[in-house]
Amino acid sequence: MAEFFSNPTVIWIAVAVAFAIIEAFTLGLTTIWFSGGALAAAVASMMGGGLLIQAIVFIVVSGLLLVFTRPIVKKHFNNKTIDTNVDAIVGSEGIAQTDLDTYETGQVKADGKVWSAVSSGEKIEKGSIVVIKQIKGVTLTVEKKEG
């Protein structure tokens, strides 16, 4: 058994499997690239490459996989982000609690809370329904809802 684990090819394959198992538990798309690098190092070992060559192959292949394929994979598999907290209210409606102007802070009630707010351009009168366009810090930028 000790001879089995003294073979660098077997060790690289074990490393590749270990990285794949870690990836299966974390699902963070972080260790799978190292699994590919370890498999490439195993191939280098089978071809008679020394330990330094194997290590270089592992680092280079892992780095290339990480740089060139991770963005593509993340785009296709982790593209569902859900806005939470304040980001979730952008695009929703609120009611002006005070008159609003571009340069003077007023108040808008949105999502059951009263927020500091400014108009994105035109003056908005108290009681008007507004649409939240963006949030800067704790201040909403709003527009009067048409119609």
Say what the pTM is. Answer: 0.50
The confidence score (pLDDT) of residue 83 equals 55
Where on the phi/psi map is residue 142: left (φ > 0), alpha (ψ -120 to 50), or beta?
A: beta
pLDDT tens per residue across span 46-68: 999 999 999 999 999 999 998 88
Amino acid at 130: V
Q: Which domains does the chain have, with CATH numbers?
A: 2-77 (no CATH), 85-144 (2.40.50.140)
Listed residue (7, 4, 73, 14) closest to 38, CA to CA: 14
**What integer is the mean pLDDT of 95-105?**
87
CB atoms within 10 A of CB 9: 15
The confidence score (pLDDT) of residue 79 equals 58
**What integer is the mean pLDDT of 20-48?**
90
The confidence score (pLDDT) of residue 56 equals 96
The confidence score (pLDDT) of residue 1 equals 56
The confidence score (pLDDT) of residue 75 equals 72
The confidence score (pLDDT) of residue 90 equals 87
The pLDDT of residue 8 is above 60: yes
The pLDDT of residue 2 is above 70: no
Which string of b and e fits 104-130 if b means at least 16 CB within 10 Å? Answer: eebbbebeeeebebbbbeeebeeebeb
The pLDDT of residue 3 is above 80: no
